[in-house]
Amino acid sequence: MLYKLIQTIDRFHPFSEAKAHCDIPCGIYDPITAQINALTVVRMMDLIAKITEGDPKDHADYHNSITRYISVKEEHAEKAKHEIRVIWGDFIKTAHTEKYPQLTELVHQIMQLGSKCRQTADRNQGLAFVDAINQFAEIFWAIKEVKTKKAKAPYAPGLEMVYPDL
Amino acid sequence: MLYKLIQTIDRFHPFSEAKAHCDIPCGIYDPITAQINALTVVRMMDLIAKITEGDPKDHADYHNSITRYISVKEEHAEKAKHEIRVIWGDFIKTAHTEKYPQLTELVHQIMQLGSKCRQTADRNQGLAFVDAINQFAEIFWAIKEVKTKKAKAPYAPGLEMVYPDL
Amino acid sequence: MLYKLIQTIDRFHPFSEAKAHCDIPCGIYDPITAQINALTVVRMMDLIAKITEGDPKDHADYHNSITRYISVKEEHAEKAKHEIRVIWGDFIKTAHTEKYPQLTELVHQIMQLGSKCRQTADRNQGLAFVDAINQFAEIFWAIKEVKTKKAKAPYAPGLEMVYPDL
Amino acid sequence: MLYKLIQTIDRFHPFSEAKAHCDIPCGIYDPITAQINALTVVRMMDLIAKITEGDPKDHADYHNSITRYISVKEEHAEKAKHEIRVIWGDFIKTAHTEKYPQLTELVHQIMQLGSKCRQTADRNQGLAFVDAINQFAEIFWAIKEVKTKKAKAPYAPGLEMVYPDL
Amino acid sequence: MLYKLIQTIDRFHPFSEAKAHCDIPCGIYDPITAQINALTVVRMMDLIAKITEGDPKDHADYHNSITRYISVKEEHAEKAKHEIRVIWGDFIKTAHTEKYPQLTELVHQIMQLGSKCRQTADRNQGLAFVDAINQFAEIFWAIKEVKTKKAKAPYAPGLEMVYPDL
Amino acid sequence: MLYKLIQTIDRFHPFSEAKAHCDIPCGIYDPITAQINALTVVRMMDLIAKITEGDPKDHADYHNSITRYISVKEEHAEKAKHEIRVIWGDFIKTAHTEKYPQLTELVHQIMQLGSKCRQTADRNQGLAFVDAINQFAEIFWAIKEVKTKKAKAPYAPGLEMVYPDL
């Protein structure tokens, strides 16, 4: 049945023409949204680490803050995954994955890291998430033939990020 | 840098243990939600085809119906893609993609077909979308060691679907 | 004023014709979505019970997990209620409630149980919620003249569910 | 099985105490949100009627406006239904439906009228929707023992509405 | 560049005509939605205060309730801000801000108070939020030339609110 | 009453300390999200202009495309407004509006232009929207003491944008 599907798809997805056409239905892709969301995840992990330091607490403000940090972390990890999924699903064609064979596995890792970032408050997971999305950004801009540079994000946690060199 | 990332991930993602643990953080996965959403996409394509038959129309009820069909089609194609992304990102581990090497490409095709189903009202795209998601369901249930069967969906458009044989 | 309304409605809702037409505006109804959401509620209650066992805890991972379980429980209880409301409001006609006089009270109970499942972490409320939605599924499929069977859900918490026998 | 459910529910839903406690878990209920949403539905129907008068049109601004009116109509009809469902499911207890036996049927009609308002651009459906929700508001405030009055809404379409007399 | 923008805007925003036209694109504005949302924020603060009284707690029901109160508080503070932003951005024109010069600063304060209400569980912030939104309502109805009155809200926390005197 | 409010606010909003603290509750602000959303609005206007050229059309694909363009335009104009509102409400303090007295009026114009971009398909409104948001970005980065540069966006419609010079 897979064979039949591939035939069916071939009829509708002229991949060899993909590059020329991909912007017409697709609009505007930019990994910066995923990158900012991933940075926010690390930021929330830092705030969670800070508030849970020291003795156990059990008052309203403590609960209010930690619940908000966790909830913002959830939301931004999810948004980062969603943004990468959109670029991967709508912009990346078979021609691109042939040129960058590590791309699909990288996307799969981003999804898994995003889930890890929701399941824990472990900063190392957050850093790996940011790192993986930066790698994705590097490949994305290379496909677009736009040069990239590295620079520290202009806000906490101030990690080194991949930016297009415009 | 990729190498460094894979090292980092390896430290946090003990894939060899994945199968045993995957349900604990993950909750409940079921491709039926994606399947119903994909069926709804075809249903909307059928309603769009029916309403646009014959002479051009330009009255309120016509606009009301076609706008709603398009909008429901959009939403359900997106939901189907989202559901597959969640199962792929949270449930599917490297061990699974090694056993089912076509799986990642199939997921990529589902994303592309879902976008095609949003961009057009072409029933063939809708059928290919349903077909690809049924294939995904087949692999998913095989991983879960649950037998599957094929049966017509109990509602229009009544396509043949893959169901777990419970 | 009620009398006037019923007259008004009668003019626009030819209930005697409802059965023949109900699928045309309505698309695809399936209680399985509500059933999966209700199962997820019980699953979250089980995870909450497990994590709160033993001594009080007050560290980041504990807060992270319990907040996520509560939040997933909230969301899925709400989705289950929403799905049932849609089927009840769009698919169920007066002719059906005449044939199944317990149906409206059952829907009201589902709404109340869904709220109870949000307000507490009490597994008995979750079980009653699943049970009530299974009863709704049984009536729904009977109206559609599709036979049903009972089988254990193929994922935790593995409760007995009502499925269409396709 | 229904009998068993009712037993189960009885154990957790002490309906005889419902009135005293209902505000504690429930927060703040007010049908005004549903009423404003229903008024908006009629307003959109009026705008749709106005823009589709006369000769067929096919330019960007026409499509832009009619698509937005339809989409706002959709959203507000849905919100109105949702608001009524919440009050009915969380605030209304069996004791209330015994005192106001028409209430459940009224809620069912509101759901059906809300769907009709989405499916058509027919102002009569919109008026019936507003009327039914006003009746619901009248009963709601009677249960709360707050007097009501009738007054024209202070914005188009300026229909007569039921307001609490504070 | 600002000068150029103002020129550009002037061409498209004939402010002198704003009052006559503002309802046509805008639909139905009513600050009551923001007011109810702000009241709900105070209500949640009261519930949080009550549940956190006394000794530290660490069981499932406590976490379930406090997480829900915080989350409802978040959502309603955000909705209140959103509603005010919509009225300010879509209904309020330069002519209005000239007549009510304190209006813009008041809107800015509402945004800041809304954020404070999310960041803390401090009832004084909630009261200031309700007060600021009531002031906004007073100006809004004055612009609409609708008289207002003050009355206690017919639900907890029963604060004095500004209502149109219809 | 305004006076009382300002007193109340003063007690809780120590504006003189705002700059030092503003990042701690606030997380990560970046106008790029609003800028990308505004660019997308212009892109959709271009696609709408292209598809409505020439003779009237009335087939499924035409309706499908124009409805999607309008709906994407709606959503992105709204998101851009929301992002600016968040930065203005959470990051911008009275000290900033004193230093940049045009800021509040600029934010008000962004809200109005965003609504114009939803109400029409007029590219000039889209350009004015992008321009106003670029001005906001310029002031935002100046407050953060980050230098900016101008460069063409690396995707259609390729307008000149304000970027931080990292």
How confident is the prediction for chain A on average, in pLDDT?
86
Percent of chain C with pLDDT over 90: 80
Helix (H) or strand (E) run with residue B148 in it: strand B148-152
What is the average pLDDT value for chain B, to the nearest integer? Answer: 86
Contact E74 A68 (CB under 8 A): yes
Instruction: Say how far apart CA A22 and CA E95 lie, in whole Å.
Output: 46
Identify the pLDDT of residue C139.
98
The residue with tokens 């800021």 is: F103
CA B73 – CA B37 distance, rounded (Å): 9
Instruction: Using CB atoms, pick whichever of B13, B115, B122 lies closest to residue A112.
Output: B13
Distance from CA of B45 to the nearest CA of C (A): 11
Answer yes or no: do B108 and A89 touch at CB < 8 A.
Answer: yes
Q: Is B71 on the interface with F (CB under 8 A)?
A: yes
**Which uninterrupted H or E stretch holds B123?**
helix B123-143
* pLDDT above 80: residue D50: yes
CB of A94 less than 8 A from some CB of C: no
Place of tokens 């990239």: A148
Instruction: Give the Cβ contact number of residue F6 at 10 Å.
Output: 17
The phi, psi pair for F36, rounded to 5°, reads: -65, -40
ipTM rounded to 2 decimals? 0.84
What was the pLDDT predicted at B111?
A: 97
Q: Sort E138 into a burial class: Cβ within 10 Å, 0-12 / 13-18 / 19+.
A: middle
Chain F nearest C-alpha distance from D113 (Å): 25
Cβ-based contacts of A40 with chain F (< 8 Å):
27-28
Top pLDDT among C58 and B112 is at B112
Which residues are registered as beta bridge partners of E163? E149
The pLDDT assigned to B9 comes to 36
Q: Is E71 helix (H, G, I), strand (E, B) or coil?
A: helix
CB neighbours of F95 closer than 8 A, spacing ≥ 6? F15, F16, F18, F19
In the predicted model, what is the mean pLDDT of residues B82-86? Answer: 97
The subunits that touch chain C, with at least 3 C-beta pairs less than 8 Å apart, are A, B, D, E
Minimal C-alpha gap between C60 and chain E (Å) = 14
Q: Per the CB < 8 Å rule, is C49 touching E60?
A: yes
Residue C84: how many other CB atoms lie within 10 Å = 28
The string of DSSP codes covering F19-50 is HHHTHHHH----THHHHHHHHHHHHHHHHHHH
Whether E63 contacts chain C with CB within 8 A = yes
Provide the 8-state DSSP code for B28: -
Distance CA B108, CA A52 (A): 41
Q: pLDDT per residue over D78-105, tens digit each? A: 999 999 999 999 999 999 999 999 999 9
- pLDDT for E1 equals 38
Q: At what angle do helices B32-52 and B123-143 cross, to 10 degrees?
A: 170
- At residue D129, the pLDDT reads 98
When CB atoms are compared, the residue of F56, F58, F121 closest to D64 is F121
pTM listed for this prediction: 0.87
Q: Which amino acid is at D137?
A: A
- CA-nearest residue to F69 within chain D is D64
* Regions of chain A short of the pLDDT cut 50: 1-24, 26
Task: Name the residue type at position F76.
Answer: H
Give pLDDT, residue C55.
78
Non-local (6+) Cβ contacts of C84 within 8 A are C31, C34, C107, C110, C111, C133, C136
Show residues of chain A in contact with C63, CB under 8 Å.
48, 52, 66-67, 70
Residue in C closest to B42 by C-alpha: C27
What is the pLDDT at residue D55? 78
Residues 6+ apart with CB under 8 A from A117: A41, A45, A73, A77, A125, A126, A129
Interval B118-156: pLDDT, tens = 999 999 999 999 999 999 999 999 999 999 999 999 999
Nearest to F7 by CA among B147, E132, B74: E132
Rg, chain D, Cα only: 19
Chain B CB contacts of F67 below 8 Å = 66-67, 70-71
Regarding predicted confidence, which is higher, D8 or D92? D92
Q: Which helix (H) or strand (E) holds A54?
A: none
What pLDDT does A81 receive? 98
Assess contact for C125 and C117: CB atoms under 8 A.
Answer: yes
Residue D25, pLDDT score: 56
Are B4 and B99 within 8 A, CB to CB? Answer: no
* Residue spans of beta strands (DSSP E) within chain F: 148-152, 160-164
Instruction: Determine the distance from the C-alpha atom of residue D129 to the mean position of all C-alpha atoms in its chain, rounded to a whole number.
Output: 7
CB B129 within 8 A of CB B117: yes
Sequence letter at residue B120? T
Give the span between the Cα atoms of F142 and C86, in whole angstroms: 51
Structure tokens at C91: 């698919």
**Cα Dmax for chain B:** 64
Residue-wise pLDDT tens for chain E (166 aa)?
333 433 333 333 333 333 333 333 546 999 999 999 999 999 999 999 999 997 777 689 999 999 999 999 999 999 999 999 999 999 999 999 999 999 999 999 999 999 999 999 999 999 999 999 999 999 999 999 999 999 999 999 999 999 999 9
Cβ atoms of F114 and F81 within 8 Å: the answer is yes
pLDDT of residue A25: 55
| pLDDT score for C25 | 55
Please, are residues D40 and D118 in contact by the beta-carbon 8 Å criterion?
Answer: no
Tell me the pLDDT tens digit for each residue of F71-126.
Answer: 999 999 999 999 999 999 999 999 999 999 999 999 999 999 999 999 999 999 99
**Mean pLDDT of all residues in D135-154:** 97
Q: Residue B57 — pLDDT band, cuts 50, 70, 90?
A: confident
Averaged pLDDT of chain D: 86
Could E58 and A58 be called an inter-chain contact, meaning their C-beta atoms sit closer than 8 Å? yes
The secondary structure of D103-155 as a DSSP string is HHHHHHHHHHHHHHHHH---HHHHHHHHHHHHHHHHHHHHHTT--EEEEE-SS
**pLDDT attached to residue D107:** 98
Q: Does B124 touch chain F (CB under 8 A)?
A: no
Distance between CA atoms of residues E131 and E125, nearest Å: 10
| Better pLDDT: F92 or F3 | F92
Closest by Cα among D137, D124, D152 to D80: D137
Is 50 exceeded by the pLDDT of residue D14? no
Helices (H), chain C: 2-12, 18-21, 23-26, 32-52, 60-86, 94-99, 103-119, 123-143
CB C70 within 8 A of CB C62: no
Enumerate the residues of chain B whose CB falls inside 8 A of the CB of residue C164.
154
Q: Pick from B2, B14, B3: which is nearest to B94 by CA?
A: B14
By the CB < 8 Å criterion, does A151 face chain F?
Answer: yes
| B contact test, residue of F63, F69, F72, F73 with most B CBs within 10 A | F63
Could you give the 3-state DSSP secondary structure of residue B151?
strand
**In whole angstroms, what is the distance from residue D51 CA to residue D63 CA?**
10
Ranges B11-20, B146-155, E151-160, F42-51: which has the least confidence: B11-20
Which residues from E are below 8 Å from A60, CB to CB?
A: 48-49, 52, 66, 121
Residue B59 has what pLDDT?
A: 84
Tokens for C40, please give them: 């997820």
**pLDDT tens digits, residue range F124-162?**
999 999 999 999 999 999 999 999 999 999 999 999 999
Residues of chain D neighbouring B56 (CB-CB closer than 8 A): 56
pLDDT at F31: 98
Q: Which helix (DSSP H) or strand (DSSP E) does residue E160 occupy?
A: strand E160-164
* Burial profile E9-28: b = 16 or more Cβ within 10 angstroms, e = fewer: beeebeeeebeeebeeebbb
The answer to whether residue C74 scores a pLDDT higher than 70 is yes
Residues C36 and C79: their CA atoms lie apart, in Å, by: 10
User: Does residue B4 surpass a pLDDT of 50?
Assistant: no
Categorize the per-residue pLDDT at F54 as very low, low, confident or very high, splitting at 50, 70 and 90. confident
Nearest partner of C116 among C132, C103, C139, C136, judged by Cα:
C132
pLDDT at A57: 76
3-state secondary structure of F130: helix
Asked whether C17 and D117 are in contact (CB, 8 A), the reply is: no
Alpha carbon distance, N-terminus to C-terminus of chain F: 46
Is A131 an 8 Å CB contact of chain B?
yes
B134 within 8 A of B28, measured Cβ to Cβ = no
Could you tell me what percent of chain D has a pLDDT over 70? 83
Q: Where is pLDDT greater, at E162 or D53?
A: E162
What pLDDT, on the 0 to 100 scale, is given for residue B18? 32
In chain F, % helix, strand, coil (3-state, to 5) comes to 70, 5, 25
Contact criterion met (CB below 8 Å) for C76 and C40: yes
Contact between C144 and B154 using a beta-carbon 8 Å cutoff: yes
**CA–CA separation, A66 vs A72, rounded Å?**
10
